[in-house]
Amino acid sequence: MRVAAAIKLNDEERRTLTRLARGRRTEARVVVRAQIILHAAAGMKNKDIAAKLGVKADTVGRWRSRYAEDGVDGILKDLPRGGRRATRRSGVESEIIKKTTCEKPANATHWSTRTLATELGLSRSMIQRVWKANGLKPHLARTFKISNDPHFEEKLRDVVGLYLNPPDNALVLSADEKTSIQALDRTQPSLPPLCQCG
């Protein structure tokens, strides 16, 4: 027969656990774990704590032992779970990234998960996981503007200078030209996603 770990709390630990057990913003599972430890410190048996909180006695024993070993940190986080490594993804990840960043689909401006999955013979969820893991968002286009005015730099310095060091007793106003006119066409091409071709 296993003997439950004895739980002794100092004042600071008791305050922390009480705050966790009563916290409105504390995760529900952490609330239960804190309650388990508080009841265990009060001398209750695992089966009685389990009945009172509506959990299994094994669960009470697990968190009681974890607290005895690691303190409050032991009940705040779950242990890493098992499971197999993503071996298939690692085999196709570089191909997905290369295709996304270096090529465009026929008759489209960018890849979608559906078109790229069809092209590579993979699932849409695989494409989505790789894009998310690598911060790729081909549907978001960043644009840039480069002025072809030969005096652009000196004009820029004048305008920025006014903002940084306005003249005494002066009012500096900024106005957008052509207000209420919607720009429908791009005057410069959009930037492609960062190409990671090797």
- The model's pLDDT over 63-82, given as tens digits with 9 standing for 90+, comes to 999 998 888 888 888 877 77
Helix (H, G, I), strand (E, B) or coil at 191: strand
| Lowest-confidence region among 25-34, 81-90, 138-147, 175-184 | 175-184
Residue type, 113: T
- Is residue 92 within 8 Å of 120, Cβ to Cβ? yes
> Which of the pair, 195 or 141, is modelled with greater confidence?
141
* pLDDT of 35 over the 90 cut: yes
> Which of the pair, 164 or 142, is modelled with greater confidence?
164
Please report, for the chain, the start and end positions of each structural domain, with discontinuous segments joined by +: 11-76
- Is residue 100 within 8 Å of 138, Cβ to Cβ? yes
Give 30's contacts (C-beta < 8 A, 6+ positions apart). 20, 75, 76
> Which of the pair, 106 or 141, is modelled with greater confidence?
106
Q: Which two tokens stand for residue 133?
A: 């893991």
Q: Which two tokens stand for residue 180?
A: 């209420």
Q: What confidence tier does 143 reach under pLDDT thresholds 50, 70, 90?
A: low
Give the pTM.
0.44
* pLDDT of 179 over the 80 cut: no
* pLDDT of 183 over the 80 cut: no
- The model's pLDDT over 38-56, given as tens digits with 9 standing for 90+, comes to 999 999 999 999 999 999 9
The rounded distance, in Å, linking the Cα atoms of 134 and 128 is: 10
What are φ and ψ of residue 39, in 5° steps?
A: -65, -40
- Is residue 196 within 8 Å of 98, Cβ to Cβ? yes
- The model's pLDDT over 99-125, given as tens digits with 9 standing for 90+, comes to 888 888 888 888 899 999 999 999 999
What are the Cα distances from residue 81, in Å, to 7, 84, 85, 124?
26, 10, 11, 25
